[in-house]
Structure formats: structure tokens, C-alpha cells
Amino acid sequence: MKQVSAIATQGRYSSSDWTTRYRLLYSDTGRNWKPYHQDGNIWAFSGNSNSESSVRHELQQGFVARFLRLVPLDWSEEGRIGLRIEVYGCSYWAGVINFDGQGVISYRFKVKKMKIIKDVIALRFKTSESEGVILHGEGQQGDYITLELRKAKLQIQINLGDNQYGSILGHTSVTTGSLLDDNHWHSVVLERYRRNVNFTLDRHTQHFRTNGEFDHLDLDYELSFGGMPYSGKPLGGGRKNFKGCMESINYNGDNITDLFRTWNPDGLLLFSNLDDGTLEISLEESRVMVHINVTKGESNNQVDLSSGEFPNR
Ligand SMILES: [Ca+2]
């Protein structure tokens, strides 16, 4: 099973054969097929106009399927139907989280202010985008940690604190890797003890010391994965959300991927931007809280719902 988010096609290698227009059908069973819809219509994708260049489409409506069928509508006038195809998306199983570039997962701390001397963060990611925030945390004192893709390289920015005169600054930035938008899995491990950091990408480890003179990472409320937190200050600076897959997210011994999938009773939240508002789902003491915030013109309507006891699975 795959959560399909994009599709790319190309003509047959070194030929006059390609497909200029096609439809996409999908199925769970291989017997009943659903056509892919977009904008309310059965969608016809524009394909290729030569055998060499590939044409990629991001799906507005992703879907989950086991089987795909591609129906050519038009093809090369100089040749026949020819096709190479790549399907993008995340495997659909409990261990993998699909980020669509809208939603952000927040890991809420049990206390509002965390003073952290030691961090171990590990995760695996896969993307075909060159930009995107993988994780972010910040505190009111000015501390922050941001792990993000920039120009298909992995960059960590961390600040354990500036001194009060601003003469000693804690901002530290380290970049590693390249061409990470290759749609293959990459693993990241970040281990920090006080100012000493081991930053590992695909088994290649860089050691560095953070700038400044402080040892603790002071964070408020939460760490967010896949983008900047909704509640955050406008520190984002136009940063893009992560689009792709993540798995095996581990923060200081907590398996975030499992927490998200198993509805752990504490401290987790899904946030998504709607067309004209926001949707928040949080779990508070085994109860599911849903906050829907709709903005219409000047008015702002909030709807809060909560379930009864929600069984932990
Ligand atoms: Ca600090």
C-alpha cells in the first residue's frame, strides 16, 4: 500500500514513443478501479512531448492504493505509446508518516518549560523537495533548534542562549550532505551533551561545539516535526514545511512515530491549515480534543469538540 502524492512520466528510452495525455485509476484489490479526480472532474494529466524529458505532477488529492492503472488518451504522432513512470509517496503502514507540506506534528512536553542538557534525536526522511523544515523547537529566552533542508543539504541551527549584553552570541549553524532531495531514505542522528554535538547523516558524523557559553537548550511547550509550530512567533521567515515521508522519529527515548499512530494519551497534536482556518487535534489525558478555527472575513469562529475515553491502541 502506498500513499501516492505525485506521479512522473517519460517516453520510452531513445525512441519516438511517448504518451501526451493520460488518466490514472487506482485500486485496493485490483478488481474495482477508481478514477483519479481533481477539481471535480475525472482528471486527464498532460504527459510528454518527447521521449527524453520527464513531466511530474503533484496530486492535489493524494490517495492510498495498492494498484495503479494508467490509461493513455493521446500519444506521439511520430511513434506509438511509450512510457516510463515513477510514483512518489510514502509507504502506508504504521511506521511511516506522510507530510503533505500542510500538516505539522507537534510533540508537546509534559511541562511548559524544558531545560535540556542532553538531546538525542534520530529520524529517517525521504523527499524530492530541496527545502523544508524537518524539526523545530524554540523558547522565550531565545533558544532554538531547527533542522531543515536548504538547497538539498541538511542544516542544523541551534542556539543555547546569548548573554544578556548581546556580546556573546549562541547562534550556531552547521550544514552537511548534498543532493538529499533524491527521494531515497536518509538517516539523521543528533546527539548533544551540553555544548558538544555529534551530527550524523547516513553514518557520516560531524562533531562541533555550539557557540556561546550556555549548556542548556531551553524550549517551551513543544517540538514540531515537518514545519514551524502554529503557536510559534513569526521566526519562520518564510520557511517551507517538509513534504515527504519520515519514519523512526525518536526524541530522547520517545518514539514519536508510535506515539502519533497509537494515540498515546499525552501531549500530541496534529495541526493543519484549512482554506479559511485551522484544524488542531490534540490528545489530553486519553481524550481527543478537536479545535476547528474558521476565519470568515473579520469574524473568527472556534469550535471545540472532545471525545469520551478513547481506547489506546
Ligand atoms: Ca539556554
Is the model's pLDDT at 56 over the cut of 90? yes
Residue 8 Cα to ligand 1 midpoint, Å, equals 46
Please give the residue that has the higher pLDDT: either 284 or 313.
284
- Give percent of the chain with pLDDT exceeding 70: 83
Count of Cβ atoms closer than 10 Å to residue 9 Cβ: 23
- Low-confidence winner among 7-21, 25-39, 148-162, 272-286 (lowest mean pLDDT): 272-286
147-183 pLDDT per residue, tens: 999 999 999 999 999 988 878 899 999 999 999 999 9
Residue 197 Cα to ligand 1 midpoint, Å, equals 15
Q: C-alpha grid cell for residue 173?
A: 549553524
- Low-confidence winner among 100-104, 294-298, 306-310 (lowest mean pLDDT): 306-310
Residue 210 Cα to ligand 1 midpoint, Å, equals 11
DSSP symbols for 115-175: EESEEEEEEEEE-S-S-EEEEEEE-TTS-EEEEEEETTEEEEEEES---TTSSS---EEEE
d(CA 180, CA 147): 13
pLDDT confidence band for 230 (50 / 70 / 90): low
Q: In which element (H, E) is residue 225 found?
A: strand 217-225
Residue 102 Cα to ligand 1 midpoint, Å, equals 30
**Residue 259 DSSP class:** H
Residue given cell 538517516 in the structure block: 187
Select from 152, 222, 160 the least CA-distant residue to 197: 160
- Low-confidence winner among 192-196, 253-257, 269-273 (lowest mean pLDDT): 269-273
Residue 199 Cα to ligand 1 midpoint, Å, equals 19
d(CA 159, CA 168): 11
How high is the mean pLDDT of the chain?
Answer: 87
User: Are the C-beta atoms of residues 100 and 88 closer than 8 Å to each other?
Assistant: no
Q: What is the pLDDT of residue 112?
A: 87
Residue 118 Cα to ligand 1 midpoint, Å, equals 12
Residue 162 Cα to ligand 1 midpoint, Å, equals 8
The number of angstroms, rounded, from the C-alpha of 307 to the middle of its chain's C-alpha atoms is 27
28-43 pLDDT per residue, tens: 888 999 999 999 999 9
Is the model's pLDDT at 235 over the cut of 70? no
What is the arithmetic mean of pLDDT over 227-250? 79
Q: What is the pLDDT of residue 303?
A: 66
pTM of the full structure: 0.76
177-226 pLDDT per residue, tens: 999 999 999 999 999 999 999 999 999 999 999 999 999 999 998 899 99
Residue 227 Cα to ligand 1 midpoint, Å, equals 22
Q: What is the pLDDT of residue 136?
A: 95
Q: In which element (H, E) is residue 226 found?
A: none
